[in-house]
Structure 1
Amino acid sequence: MSANRYPLEVDVAIVGSGPTSAAYARILSELAPEARIAMFEVGPSISNPPGAHVKNIGDPAARAAAQRASEGPGAGAATVNSPGEVKAGTRQARPGTFLLTEGYAADGEDGLPVAAMSSNVGGMGAHWTGACPRPGGAERIGFLDDLDALLAEAERLLGVTTQAFEQAPLPQKVRELLAAQVDQDRVAEYRVQPMPLAVHRRPEGQLVWSGADVVMGEATRNNENFTLFDNSLVRRVLTDGAAASGVELSDQLTGQQYQVAARCVVVGADALRTPQLLWASGIRPEALGRYLNDQAQVVFASRLRGVEASQGAGAPGAGLSEQSGVSWVPYTDEEPFHGQIMQLDASPVPLADDDPVVPGSIVGLGLFCAKDLSAQDRVEFDDQVPDFYGMPSMRIHYRLSEADHQVIERAKQQIVRLGHAVGDPLDERPFVMPPGSSLHYQGTTRMGTADDGTSVCSPDSEVWQVPGLFVAGNGVIPTATACNPTLTSVALAVRGARRIAEKLNNSLLMSKSDNRMSE
């Protein structure tokens, strides 16, 4: 044990290091500063500070190296670098992510052929688009009376702003054109508006993407009781009786196995690997892995009319061009899709094969569709066949229902209308991305109000029948959403972290009281 780089015991063990795991670390650092917290990430640290967005790395070679290091078992494989490759049906991951090599589609089903994951400190928060809209209508979780307050706290942790591009001329033009098409019958909160974004300015003034580093904040980084361990694969959640009691892990650098005792365990991997770890731990509630849902994604692109080269500016080596912007067409129950309208150089994902362009003049339109939820859409695990990490391999069962196809067709019609309203389309037909493209997988550890077989965890994200075990991430969201899920997931993490802090603080008070009585 002398070579053990891990503690023998902590108060809270956190599995994963993405935005929701970071939220647990941040809230616990603020509300329970005496708690000993250990965070375990299977992948390496790829940025400074840990968890920062890779698109903020100015040197192209260093940025590419960080992305390759995030690709886990897919490192070195070809990645999708243009929309032409996507439209050609190339089954490749985006830079910084990797795909399942098998089990992604059962015979006769749609599957999720491009379901992607990343393995790095910061999780997918090192690669995302930073969009943080609030859910609306049926997207909202009706049984959480404090949802709006939780969303506001999540906005604080993520550093969400709607003013990042307020001085830029082109985003306002895009919104005016979109508004003329869709705003007439909408109440104010559902009209076209700037997309709430997790972005921030560096001290020298450069606008850059935010990641899990921003969520952790100085409160976590300065917390002497918090330690982040990268290259650490948690293989099993340990239990003592029914309650969580720690984790069993493998040091990926040495291959040695260790156990770390914990009073509470938080599993915040992703919507595929969180249920995988629970399954591997023998924690198998009926709803585990079920209600899996992705957001069908329809894309289109147009060129703004009348934009002169003098209106543009060169794209930065890192961060965002401030001639660009991201606009939002909110979901409504009547139109069950969410619009993320991104100017070309405001996206970390390629949107158009068009070079050279005036920065900001190419507008990529994306409509994300809410899924028709079904318990039959699920990820299953095979104990007999290990995956690359030696965990039970995944098998995806996923179908688009007739209702899903109807919504997709409506979205295709709407995106063409929006594309023509914005400018001159680059293509006459919209393109439906392969299932899994949204990266917004949800539902596999869903929250509920009762242990009735349709949910995995309570409204506090505590797993039914396993006290002290909490789940985090997009998988906890129980509703069908079309909007980007990160803000909602962080909000749910806030609720769970507050519950843990309450437990720990009450225990500490009782311990101090017992000590005083014994004196």
Structure 2
Amino acid sequence: MPTNQTQKEEKPALPVKVDVLIVGSGPIGAVFARELVNAQLKNREDLQILMVDVGPHVVKGQLQHLSVPTGDIATQYIRNGQNPAQKANENLAEAAASRVVGGMGSHWTCCTPRQHLDEQQPGFTEVYKNYDRAEHLFNTTTTAFDHSVRQHLIMHTLEKAFNDRPIKAMPLACRRNKSPDNTNYVEWTCPATILDSGVRGHREKLSDPKYSKVPPTRAWERDPITLNDKFEVWPNTQCVKLNLAEDKDKNVKVVSASLKHLLTNAVYNVTADKFVICAGAVLTPGILWNSGFTTDDKKPSYYVKELGKNLTEQTMAFCQVELWKEHVENVMTQPPVVDEKPFDPKNPTRRPVKDTNITNKPRKEDLPKVWGDFWNTTAPKYWIEREKAEKRDEQQANASWVALRTELKDKVAKHVKTFQLDPLPFPADDPDPQCYYSYVFTDTKSKTNKRWHTQIHRDAFGYGQVPADIDQRRVVDLRWFGYTEENGHNCVEFSTNNRDEFGMPQPTFHFTEDKSQRQADMRADMVTVANRLGAIISKEDVHKNMPQGSALHICGTYKAGIGDKADERSVVNQYGQMWKHPNVVLGGCGVIPKANACNPTLTAACFAIHAVKKMVEDLDK
């Protein structure tokens, strides 16, 4: 943003012709840009790519509610997102969009699991082959939190409690600093990191004026901006619509995009050979609707039957636990002092064993037989399986475990000795736990499938704030995600009678809550796991799912289709191209064709990578 807010804004020199226009600068937009810039086109060595985002370039994460019923007394004075057409019982109340450079990449969880085969749509085998490439772009790893004492304590505890249920380290999009001077630093994946090594450059180029066509004094136009002469990012630039033209046979073609520079209200019509719209699962169909596309079959040239339909969103259950004191003591490197008196700071050798916040007790069979058995175990199954995946045999796995266990034990011993007033054995810089149970686990006792995705970790969501009187090192978040059955009712519609704060058609949700037994089973499973770890802090959390839309994982609103009459059942083909409009490519979670329970971003990246392959083929003709 400019340092002098009173200066007169000048109209930016936005290009009027590019090869590819990308609307949306989130993780998926970044995947499109990186793959296109890296593509070796024989006939277009000077491929020009313009990326625009309606929001500014800021560091802070940003979310805005999409649809707020005005009949709700508690929300009738909320200005943004007000929607008199929204029925409260059909709303995705927590659905929100990011309007900022970086999009959802400014605040996402960075959890990047692959879809289970049960979640994948048949016929898209070539799309799912891109998982390796997507994981490379996102820096997906399961090892970044190997040096967390609490991670191994939780995995150790759950492996003992549920011997036939594999616990795994969560696949995360991040890189831990390998410098021995500071291994605490973790770089979480975002559009900047996705673009970083792919768009011919290093991060220091972001602040180097020679890589920008705009004077550095006008940073609001330049930031994060030009990494090379092929690619530019323009913040505060809204794609209002795609401009359509009819030929003599009434066939419609997309010829340009209307872009509005919000700081000057200047409007530009930019032409391109390919228009890539990846503005989110709700805002993307909103742009198409504003362009003239409709679900009204009375306008055959503009008719897109499934636009905004087939909406799926995940259900979500959440709770927090405070680790049982017995689990905490199991990490100590010296026997705990058994004393029922509260901790006395004047007597630092006395450690607390009684917690007034805990009213229920753990099952005796879940507790360690003797203190410190956490340090006496051979390599656990979860470690051996992970090492096997890295092409290491069991002997190598045991050796690496012994080395890691020794390192962690030394860390705990050093912390306890150095900070004798600290009642916990966990170092202050101990990384947060990050582990999970994967989708579809077959319970050998009940012969049932657990068709949900789980996250056992710590995260920074607003609803996961730790009470002030509890040390957050003892707190673990449990998030269980379930899928909703696809039906013909769930959709998002748009109205030109009501406009949002950016003048775009107001989205209205029609979504039926999934009240199936599977949802109750999912919550019960979460409570079962939680009780093995510690005392549930707020027991009100476990009796119902989070408000609809809390997962922020909307999919299917412009789903991809394949096979006979796919154009009647979907909006785009397997390459993200709109049916009848091959120069328009849609990206993001909206293309994912089937209901799912896991985090969908990695799968959306697979579709984007697949789309770029076709785009390169078309552009290089």
User: Is TM-score (shorter-chain normalized) higher than 0.5?
Assistant: yes
1:433 equivalenced with 2:452 (yes/no): no
Larger radius of gyration: 2
The verdict on how the C-alpha distance between 1:453 and 1:124 changes in structure 2, with shifts beyond 3 A counting, is: same
1:37 equivalenced with 2:49 (yes/no): yes
Structure 2 residue identity aligned to 1:323: P
1:201 equivalenced with 2:176 (yes/no): yes
Give, in angstroms, the shift of residue 161 of structure 1. Answer: 0.8
The verdict on how the C-alpha distance between 1:322 and 1:267 changes in structure 2, with shifts beyond 3 A counting, is: farther
The verdict on how the C-alpha distance between 1:277 and 1:201 changes in structure 2, with shifts beyond 3 A counting, is: same
Tell me what 1:489 maps to: 604
Tell me what 1:10 maps to: 18
Conserved 8 A contact 1:41-1:229: yes
When normalised by structure 1's length, the TM-score is 0.81
1:233 equivalenced with 2:246 (yes/no): no
The verdict on how the C-alpha distance between 1:388 and 1:36 changes in structure 2, with shifts beyond 3 A counting, is: same
1:367 equivalenced with 2:480 (yes/no): yes
Structure 2 residue identity aligned to 1:167: H
Q: Which moved more, 1:16-25 or 1:30-39?
A: 30-39
Give, in angstroms, the shift of residue 393 of structure 1. Answer: 1.1
Alignment of 1:75-154 (within 5 A): 100-102=81-83, 105-106=86-87, 109-154=89-134
Q: 2:425 pairs with 276, 292, 311, which one?
A: 311
Q: 1:473 pairs with 588, 595, 603, which one?
A: 588
What do residues 293-320 of structure 1 show as CA deviations (whole Å, max 9, x unaligned)?
Answer: 2111111221122326443343xxxxxx
CA distance in 1, matches of 2:535, 2:125: 45
Conserved 8 A contact 2:320-2:475: yes
Structure 2 residue identity aligned to 1:478: P
1:223 equivalenced with 2:232 (yes/no): no
Q: Which moved more, 1:9-18 or 1:290-299?
A: 290-299
Alignment of 1:53-452 (within 5 A): 66-67=60-61, 70-71=62-63, 100-102=81-83, 105-106=86-87, 109-182=89-162, 184=164, 191-201=166-176, 205=183, 206-220=185-199, 222-241=227-246, 242-284=252-294, 285-305=304-324, 306-307=327-328, 309-314=423-428, 322-332=430-440, 334-343=449-458, 346-401=459-514, 404-429=515-540, 430=542, 431-450=544-563, 451-452=566-567
Conserved 8 A contact 1:104-1:111: no
Conserved 8 A contact 2:466-2:472: no
Conserved 8 A contact 1:461-1:470: yes
The verdict on how the C-alpha distance between 1:240 and 1:433 changes in structure 2, with shifts beyond 3 A counting, is: same
| Unpaired runs of at least 5, structure 2 | 1-9, 67-72, 202-226, 247-251, 295-303, 330-422, 442-448
CA distance in 1, matches of 2:143, 2:74: 37
Give, in angstroms, the shift of residue 352 of structure 1. Answer: 4.4
CA distance in 2, matches of 1:104, 1:118: 22
Tell me what 1:51 maps to: none
Conserved 8 A contact 2:121-2:594: yes
The verdict on how the C-alpha distance between 1:149 and 1:432 changes in structure 2, with shifts beyond 3 A counting, is: same
CA distance in 2, matches of 1:90, 1:492: 40
What do residues 116-156 of structure 1 show as CA deviations (whole Å, max 9, x unaligned)?
Answer: 11110010110111110111032113212234431111111
What do residues 295-354 of structure 1 show as CA deviations (whole Å, max 9, x unaligned)?
Answer: 11111221122326443343xxxxxx54312111111172121101113xx445452432
| Unpaired runs of at least 5, structure 1 | 48-65, 75-88, 93-97, 315-320, 508-519
The verdict on how the C-alpha distance between 1:426 and 1:397 changes in structure 2, with shifts beyond 3 A counting, is: same
DSSP-derived class of the 1:26 partner: helix
The verdict on how the C-alpha distance between 1:445 and 1:103 changes in structure 2, with shifts beyond 3 A counting, is: farther
Give, in angstroms, the shift of residue 157 of structure 1. Answer: 0.8
Conserved 8 A contact 1:129-1:348: no
DSSP-derived class of the 1:432 partner: coil
The verdict on how the C-alpha distance between 1:165 and 1:414 changes in structure 2, with shifts beyond 3 A counting, is: same
DSSP-derived class of the 1:253 partner: coil
RMSD over aligned CA atoms reads 2.6
CA distance in 2, matches of 1:311, 1:498: 52
CA distance in 2, matches of 1:240, 1:472: 23
Conserved 8 A contact 2:513-2:548: no
The verdict on how the C-alpha distance between 1:238 and 1:323 changes in structure 2, with shifts beyond 3 A counting, is: same
CA distance in 2, matches of 1:3, 1:452: 41
DSSP-derived class of the 1:176 partner: helix
Structure 2 residue identity aligned to 1:19: P
CA distance in 2, matches of 1:172, 1:286: 50
CA distance in 2, matches of 1:104, 1:413: 36
When normalised by structure 2's length, the TM-score is 0.68
CA distance in 2, matches of 1:481, 1:420: 27
Give percent identity, aligned residues only.
27
CA distance in 2, matches of 1:200, 1:277: 35
CA distance in 2, matches of 1:90, 1:151: 44
Q: Which moved more, 1:350-359 or 1:211-220?
A: 350-359
Give, in angstroms, the shift of residue 71 of structure 1. Answer: 4.8
CA distance in 2, matches of 1:195, 1:99: 36
CA distance in 2, matches of 1:440, 1:233: 23
The verdict on how the C-alpha distance between 1:106 and 1:182 changes in structure 2, with shifts beyond 3 A counting, is: farther
- The alignment of Structure 1 onto Structure 2 pairs a total of residues equal to 451
Tell me what 1:454 maps to: 569
What do residues 377-405 of structure 1 show as CA deviations (whole Å, max 9, x unaligned)?
Answer: 1110112222111111111111024xx43
Give, in angstroms, the shift of residue 17 of structure 1. Answer: 0.4
Tell me what 1:502 maps to: 617
DSSP-derived class of the 2:523 partner: helix
DSSP-derived class of the 2:256 partner: strand
Conserved 8 A contact 1:104-1:396: no
The verdict on how the C-alpha distance between 1:267 and 1:254 changes in structure 2, with shifts beyond 3 A counting, is: same
The verdict on how the C-alpha distance between 1:198 and 1:91 changes in structure 2, with shifts beyond 3 A counting, is: farther
CA distance in 2, matches of 1:393, 1:428: 37
